[in-house]
Structure 1
Amino acid sequence: AVRRIAECAASLGLQVAGLTVSPITGQSGNVEYLVWLQKGCHAARPLDAMLAELFP
């Protein structure tokens, strides 16, 4: 799901500048993610590297 959000954002001219696990869980205890999007930025790290940290 996180990759799909990043792909959708890219289609709108946005890049993932950062990605992390939210410190707040969802209502059912599910894990939420925070995605920092910026227009026209060049990601310091490739998306695959960021995803590999979250989903080893």
Structure 2
Amino acid sequence: MNTAMAAGLGFTLAGLVGYLVGLTTAYPGRAFSVTSVMVGIALLVVGADGGAET
């Protein structure tokens, strides 16, 4: 597992947890959980590519 994929997994999981907590409790900055999920998915795609050029 490369660095981008590990970071993507971390961002995605943290964003999902933040989103689920935000459903029950209002806290400042909870909208950033959606941003974290989007960044995490993008990093997962980049990490899965492996940096290979076509």
- TM-score scaled to structure 1, two decimals? 0.25
Query: Comparing both chains, which one has the higher relative contact order based on Cα–Cα distances under 8 Å and sequence gaps of 6 or more?
Result: 2
- TM-score scaled to structure 2, two decimals? 0.26
Higher strand fraction: Structure 1 or Structure 2?
A: 1
Q: Give 1 or 2 for the bigger CA radius of gyration.
A: 2
Higher helix fraction: Structure 1 or Structure 2?
A: 2
